[in-house]
């Protein structure tokens, strides 16, 4: 096992305490199991990345474990190195980078599901679950560290070709699995970034022309040329975007790297350089829900998620387009400044369930009264750009206390932080009076001005109306009802 590098002088990035910078890089030079073909560049990948991260002009990492030979790259050797990293990464400001250039494979786990594994030098393919290193074990270990800046890169694949090997049974199961062999998002916290070099059915390729794993070669290039926002530092997400685009182009679209992250604000995982100035604003999404969706800024397509995209400072109209229909499914506006890094779902805000309470006035023919109302907005309950809005309330006197509730399908005509919204639905009444208890169902129309500013609070100034019918002593009564209300509430 390589000895830790001597600690480098401590620096401070603008706005981010530096902490210690620690890396564990694994690239076996060979495998014991004869069923596993040799990889030409796995060990070279790990050594080249170690050199780049150790370079004072680029990574300036304090400690690096580079495992490429003999028992160091066995399951026991890698676990021992993980334990050493844990004894050194003791602060929330520490950065921990873990990298594997190796074969990947899949194994059945509890419930019959397939789980991704890293194939180490002593792994036996037909005893994978016992002798291989589960990606979930790596992620659980990372989550146990005090550090809040964690990156893991799996330069492996699970297609049965290239940097992977599958048993016949698992290969047959994997044929029906779509997407990337993505770890569960429970393991991805605010500052954990998980990267895979290729999708589930794709091959992570090595190249004689490049002399490396393709993704790794572009990752190394990114440490010098990947500062997309111009702030002087190359972050984990910037390096991934550079490498993802390079690998996709080099392989003519046959290798699509993926990432999962939930980074609030600027990416805290700096791989190279240091922040010297505010960078360009960026809009990002690395969650699985928007995979394949297109980001459109002010009517111009910027690219597809997962990923991050530079945006000029100022106010912008933001849309997310469905990959199948090309229609906007999320809309919003954002006022961005230099250095802002915003998750697109926090801009559009459509997926936040909203709860509010308020009061208003009701009139229906000769009767009128004060109304108390509770409202719940459920944006994911209907397809497309529609939301389901449920309300309930009671009049304090009309002429007696009267209960009502409604379900409305609502649409925003002008999306943004202030929205004009309209809807259609049904409202149920239980009208009370002297010697009267009359249920009624009313077709309802709504119109509102809704404020959705950044933060948890929101408000609605609305009007609703419908044609009310009810029976009283055998006589049918009807008339138009009109209700105005002001509601204030929370969204989460």
Task: List domains and CATH numbers for the chain.
Answer: 21-279 (3.40.50.1460), 283-348 (no CATH), 354-491 (2.40.160.20)
100/154 Cα distance (integer angstroms)? 5
Residue 383 scores a pLDDT above 80: no
- 10 CA to centre of own chain: 32
pLDDT of amino acid 161: 53
Average pLDDT, the chain: 81
Confidence bin at 247 (pLDDT 50/70/90):
confident
CA angle 227, 190, 103 (to 5 degrees): 70
- Interval 295-332: pLDDT, tens: 999 999 988 888 888 888 888 888 888 888 888 777 77
304 in Cβ contact with 274 (< 8 Å)? no
481/484 Cα distance (integer angstroms)? 10
Between 300 and 396, whose confidence is greater?
300
Residue 22 scores a pLDDT above 80: yes
- Interval 331-381: pLDDT, tens: 777 888 888 878 887 676 555 789 999 999 888 766 678 889 999 998 778
pLDDT of amino acid 180: 39
Sheet with 307-311, side-by-side order of all strands: 307-311, 281-285, 341-343
DSSP H helices, 319-450, are 344-348
Residues 6 or more apart whose CB falls under 8 angstroms from that of 48 comprise 212, 216, 220
pLDDT of amino acid 11: 32
Spatial CA neighbour of 275 closest among 237, 232, 238: 232
CB atoms within 10 A of CB 15: 11
Between 489 and 200, whose confidence is greater?
489
CB atoms within 10 A of CB 488: 12
Whether the bond into 399 is cis, omega within 30 of 0: yes
474/130 Cα distance (integer angstroms)? 78
Residue with tokens 């459920």, as numbered in its chain? 378
183/287 Cα distance (integer angstroms)? 12
pLDDT of amino acid 89: 94
3-state SS of 155-212? ECCCCCCCCECCCHHHHHHHCCCCCCCCCCHHHCCCCEEEEECCCCCCCCCEECCCCE
Residue with tokens 């849309």, as numbered in its chain? 319
CA angle 214, 44, 248 (to 5 degrees): 5
Residue 416 scores a pLDDT above 70: no
Q: For residue 65, what are the β-bridge partners?
A: 24
Residue 154 scores a pLDDT above 90: yes
Q: What is the DSSP letter of 126?
A: G
What mean pLDDT do residues 32-57 have? 93
What mean pLDDT do residues 3-27 have? 58
Residue 218 scores a pLDDT above 90: yes
Confidence bin at 17 (pLDDT 50/70/90):
very low
pLDDT of amino acid 251: 86
* Residue 267 falls in which region: left (phi positive, over 0), alpha (psi -120 to 50) or beta: beta
Whether the bond into 299 is cis, omega within 30 of 0: no
Between 380 and 463, whose confidence is greater?
463
Residue 62: helix, strand or coil by DSSP? coil
Tokens linked to 364: 């229906």
């Amino acid at each position: 096992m390589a000895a830790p590098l001597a600690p480098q002088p401590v620096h401070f990035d603008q706005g981010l305490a530096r902490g210690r910078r620690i890396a564990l890089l694994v690239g076996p030079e060979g495998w014991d199991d004869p069923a596993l073909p040799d990889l030409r560049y796995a060990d070279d990948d790990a050594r080249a990345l170690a050199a780049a991260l150790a370079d004072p002009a680029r990574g300036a990492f304090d400690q690096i474990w580079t495992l490429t030979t003999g028992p160091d790259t066995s399951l026991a050797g890698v676990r021992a190195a993980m334990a050493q990293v844990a004894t050194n990464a003791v602060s929330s400001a520490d950065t921990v980078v873990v990298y594997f250039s190796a074969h990947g494979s899949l194994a059945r786990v509890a419930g019959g599901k397939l789980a991704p594994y890293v194939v180490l030098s002593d792994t036996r393919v037909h005893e994978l679950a016992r002798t291989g290193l589960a990606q979930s074990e790596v992620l659980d270990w990372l989550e146990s560290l005090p550090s809040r800046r964690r990156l893991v890169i799996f330069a492996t694949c699970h297609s049965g070709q290239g940097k992977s090997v599958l048993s016949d049974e698992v290969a047959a199961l994997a044929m029906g699995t779509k997407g990337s062999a993505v770890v569960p998002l429970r393991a991805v916290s605010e500052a954990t970034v998980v990267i895979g070099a290729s999708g589930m059915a794709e091959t992570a390729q090595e190249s004689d022309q490049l002399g490396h794993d393709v993704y790794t070669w572009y990752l190394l290039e990114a440490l010098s040329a990947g500062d997309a926002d111009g702030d002087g530092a190359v972050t984990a997400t910037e390096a991934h975007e550079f490498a993802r685009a390079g690998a996709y182009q080099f392989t003519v679209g046959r290798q699509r790297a993926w990432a999962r992250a939930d980074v609030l604000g600027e990416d805290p995982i700096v791989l190279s350089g240091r922040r010297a100035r505010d960078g360009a604003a960026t809009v990002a999404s690395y969650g699985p829900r928007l995979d394949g969706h297109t980001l459109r800024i002010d009517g111009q397509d910027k690219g597809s998620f997962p990923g991050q995209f530079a945006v000029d400072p100022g106010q912008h109209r933001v849309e997310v387009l469905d990959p199948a229909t090309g229609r906007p499914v999320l809309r919003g506006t954002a006022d961005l400044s230099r250095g802002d890094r915003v998750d697109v779902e926090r801009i559009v805000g459509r997926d936040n369930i909203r709860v509010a309470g308020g009061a208003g006035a009701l009139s229906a023919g000769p009767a009128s009264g004060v109304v108390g109302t509770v409202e719940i907005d459920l944006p994911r309950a209907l397809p497309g750009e529609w939301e389901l809005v449920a309300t309930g309330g009671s009049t304090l006197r009309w002429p007696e206390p009267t209960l009502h509730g409604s379900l409305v399908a609502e649409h925003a005509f002008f999306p943004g932080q202030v929205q004009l919204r309209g809807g259609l639905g049904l409202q149920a009444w239980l009208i009370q009076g002297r010697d009267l208890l009359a249920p009624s169902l009313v077709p309802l129309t709504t119109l509102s001005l809704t404020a959705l500013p950044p933060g948890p609070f929101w408000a609605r100034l609305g009007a609703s109306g419908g044609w009310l019918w009810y029976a009283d002593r055998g006589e049918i009564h009807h008339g138009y009802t009109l209700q105005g209300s002001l509601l204030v509430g929370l969204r989460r």
